[in-house]
Amino acid sequence: MMKYLLVPLLCLSFSASALNVDSIDIRAGMVYQENTDMLLTGTYNQKRSNGKLKKKVNYRNGLKSGLSTKYYSSGTVETEYSYKDGNKSGEYRAFFKNGYAEEIGYYRGDIKHGEFTQYSKKSSDLKVSQTHYSDGHKNGLKREWYKSGELKEAIGYLNDKKDGVKVEYANNGSLESKTEYKLGEKQGKEQEWYSNGSLKEEKNYLHDEKHGTVVKYYDNGKKKSEVEYEYGKKVSKVVKWEKNGQLKD
């Protein structure tokens, strides 16, 4: 029973020593109670000229600790950060003026770590993009959506560089393109499709340059043209066909 009583007692002890202040002194990156040598433990309320609250920041021993909130002039919340020992740590949230969530993410040791999700201004249920971070770098899948909620594209990242297959979709959900990446460069096959699902173009890349056969197709599936590349340079004549399959002169 005693362990359940300790929490409120500790909270009472902290709240008794915590302050609510409207003015602070900042020296060498540390926050002090105004005109004193005492590090601030408590809440700093920054006001606008009209008296409305602009920021509400919690401190412990002169460092940001706990929730830090910024407000729009209307009084609604603009951003919320969680801090520990002066560093961003935990959930971060940004809001549109209409109150809907604009972005939600996570920090660890003052750097991005985890999923960062952006939302539509019209609804907090509609995602715009989602990116995974580890130790401040893009690592893992990044996705983007249309306003309709349909997936627009998806691509993997490795240390901030595109790595893996990038897939793009039309607003109706049909596949538009696939491109292979390796450490930020196009490396491998790239394909594009017509809205009817038939292949439109196919080519290969080596270190971000066209390398190999580039083939284009008509929307009926017939071959349209073909040409060879080596290290980004065209090394053959373009062969072309009519839509009915006959070779062009």
Q: What are the start-end ranges of the H helices in the chain?
A: 2-17
Confidence (pLDDT) at 16: 40
Q: Give which of 49, 80, 75 is closest to 64, Cα–Cα.
A: 80
Of 7-21, 52-66, 137-151, 210-224, which gets the smallest average pLDDT? Answer: 7-21
Q: What is the pLDDT of residues 106-156, one digit of tens each?
A: 999 999 999 999 999 999 899 999 999 999 999 999 999 999 999 999 999
Of 7-21, 41-55, 172-186, which gets the smallest average pLDDT? Answer: 7-21
Cβ count within 10 A of residue 144: 17
Query: Looking at the predicted structure, is the pLDDT value of residue 9 above 60?
Result: no
Confidence (pLDDT) at 13: 37
Bridge partners of residue 137, in order along the sequence: 134
Confidence (pLDDT) at 19: 87
Confidence (pLDDT) at 249: 76
Cβ count within 10 A of residue 75: 8
Bridge partners of residue 135, in order along the sequence: none
* Per-chain mean pLDDT for the chain: 93
Rounded Cα–Cα distance for residues 185 and 150 (Å): 27
**φ and ψ at residue 12, rounded to 5 degrees:** -65, -40
More confident residue, 249 or 53: 53
| Residue in the structure block whose two tokens are 């740590």 | 89
What average pLDDT does the segment 226-240 reach? 98
Distances (CA, A) of 10 to 7, 21, 31, 82, 112: 5, 22, 23, 21, 31
- Written as one letter, the residue type at 236 is S
**φ and ψ at residue 142, rounded to 5 degrees:** -120, 130
Confidence (pLDDT) at 17: 54
The SS3 of residue 50 is coil
Confidence (pLDDT) at 7: 35
What average pLDDT does the segment 245-249 reach? 89
Rounded Cα–Cα distance for residues 147 and 94 (Å): 19
Number of DSSP helices (H) and strands (E) in the chain, helices first: 1, 24
Q: Which two tokens stand for residue 166?
A: 């990038």
Q: What is the pLDDT of residues 21-65, one digit of tens each?
A: 899 999 999 999 999 999 999 999 999 999 999 999 999 999 999
Query: Looking at the predicted structure, is the pLDDT value of residue 157 above 60?
Result: yes
**Per-domain residue ranges of the chain:** 2-240
What average pLDDT does the segment 71-77 reach? 97
pTM (2 d.p.): 0.85
Contact status, residue 99 vs residue 115, Cβ threshold 8 Å: no
What average pLDDT does the segment 73-94 reach? 98
Rounded Cα–Cα distance for residues 220 and 62 (Å): 70
Portion of the chain with pLDDT greater than 90, in percent? 90
Arch. (CATH architecture) of 2-240: Alpha-Beta Complex (3.90)
Chain CA centroid to CA 108, Å: 16
